[in-house]
Structure 1
Amino acid sequence: MKKLFYLSLVFVLISCSKVIKKEDLQGVWICNYKAHSNSFFHEIYFKNDSITLIDFFDYSFKGKYEIQGDSLRIYLKNKTLKKKIDLQQNDSIVILNNSTFLRHSNIIENEYITYNLINLDSNIKIHYDSLSTNHKTFNLIKRENKFILEDYSGFDNLNLKLYNYPVHTIFITYNILLNREITLRQLKNILSKINLTSHCKINLITKIDLQKELYHVFPLIINSWEEDLKKLQKENKELYHVFPLIINSWEEDLKKLQKENNGFPPRPPITEDENKASYIEAYHPELLQIKSKQDFDKIQHIKPNSHYLISINIELPVQEYLKLTQKLNFIRKDKNTRIRTELINF
């Protein structure tokens, strides 16, 4: 008799529990930062049986979904995610695993772009929390056969994106989501333009692991020769027009500095390392040429506690170039060797 009573009680509790339906989820849900600031996703959109997941870099993942009891199964391209789901407070809060999202709107107004990432594995995998501390994040977007850096502001002017941040005298770090269609020559051009305004490091984001919620990253330090920077300045004067409404309180000082620099924003002083002749004279580096993938074995013979200048063929595929940089980074640490690279035509 007691068993029958307990079975009946369990049946009643199950019957009274909230059964989540697709109609309950329709619309836009925003991450509750106060409750869970480390959520991998910033927004979630449900529309009929489709779902769009948006990370904090505005990268979107589109697919289909099913509700199976207290689980949400998400079917994306080449992967399936499973998350525990719960609805609370009159369907105004949805909890996915340990991340809380608040209902924002029943209507989806935005159409997000799925960026064409290069999808390259890296030895370095970083969580969003670590990447978000960096100065700025850009997506490489192809428009009219040219690649531009796009951020949340929507401005196409590269200088507005970079120079609206007043830190230009120390190394800063930018994140760039790397498009699979870009060539090494195009990538060098983009990075050199960044180097016109700042000494900086770059985290190239090449792949996103949704299961582990990690970003595959290739760290780069931009090395540009003085002569290349001067040539680039002459070819890209239109990049350095400043719109007064965008600049902060130091607008007048910036205009004055631009005038003194022939229309260009002031840059940190040229160092000995940025003048090629001075660099070679100062350090007497051993010279190494990488013309193709077949030359990669040369780096295995790099001597410890030494100095190298490695010239790399600018026609290499981007994927091979990034793999090479990862090997060079390992050698730098393992052999305590200073290595500078340059991308050139052979």
Structure 2
Amino acid sequence: MDRAAAELFLACLFVESTPERLEAVRNTAKTLRNWEGLQSALEGHGVLTLFLRNLEQAGVELPPAIAPRFQAQSGAQRDDDQGSRLTLQRFLAAAAREQVEVTLVGGSALFLDLYPEPLRRAGQLEFLVPPEHLGRALAAGKQAGLLLDEGALPAWWYRRVEAPLPLAPSSSMLRGVSLRCRLHHSSLLLTAREPELLARRRRSPFEGHALYQMDPIDGLLELSVRMATQAGEALVHGRRHLLTAASHAQHPLRLDHLLDLRTHVERRHGEMVVGEVIARAREWSAEPALRAILDCIQMGLGFLPSAREWARSLAQGLASATSGPNGTSSALFRPDPIERLPQWLRPSNAFLARRYALP
């Protein structure tokens, strides 16, 4: 995929339309001559339907030779979204019968709030359940048509090693989910206390069934941490790596998650006081991840004017408040747990002071 196609991908990576953004789409589309590879990249990052909506709003028409393919795949993305929502509904209904608390986390932490319509693919749903509810959660999954894969290890193993437990769909109408008993692996050296995080959750019923979503600030930090651990150093090199990600369907820098964070900040920055976000990031030890996310969006995509100053103030506050491992020296930017091992075995004094409230 050539650079002009990647530039158009990034120009269309927004939910909140403005005249300036639509003008940028039109100007970028004028330079595009080769559409090859763009469809597969958009599908891989789960934003094909959003791309088509933004082209339509900007008055840009797809070449007639490829328009039917794009429209067909957009329909497939909408079908996938319906499958994810059906899966969520069925699992929550079964979880209610089994008396299991379910919280959306990881890549699912923000999507339900941000996308009432299927502008981006929901992807794999990630549920946090209390460790003592894991057996009941598996029973709920079975009732909903979600089963342990034949090659999966025993459920107790996933709980012991703090790994997500995948459940596979038994029907083509459903989508796979991932169960987690712990929000983050210990090797990430995060200092957030899960009971406090859970106490801040918001109850957000879905189709009449009980569901919890994270507090807006915790959701921001959760997805920032997820992106840092998936993308590693690709997150901290600005627009160059964004263009590379836009050119590859399976790139570890997930542009659908970056879209989530951009949209979340633009819609909800008024609810998130800068000082509180900095304090919460310190509580998590997630300052490096959050600062990298803000820099990546600011340099590569930009925020709406109403959110731009908020993001700049937050980035400056994080820079002055950060102590301990910073930038890519943090364990958060090591996707492979083996790479985190030295820091896990010998954590910094800053981590010990935060984790155990040492003077």
| Fold in common (TM above 0.5) | no
Give the TM-score taking structure 2 as reference length: 0.25
Q: Highest relative contact order (Cα 8 Å, sep 6+), 1 or 2?
A: 2
Q: Greater share of helix residues, 1 or 2?
A: 2
**More strand, by proportion:** 1
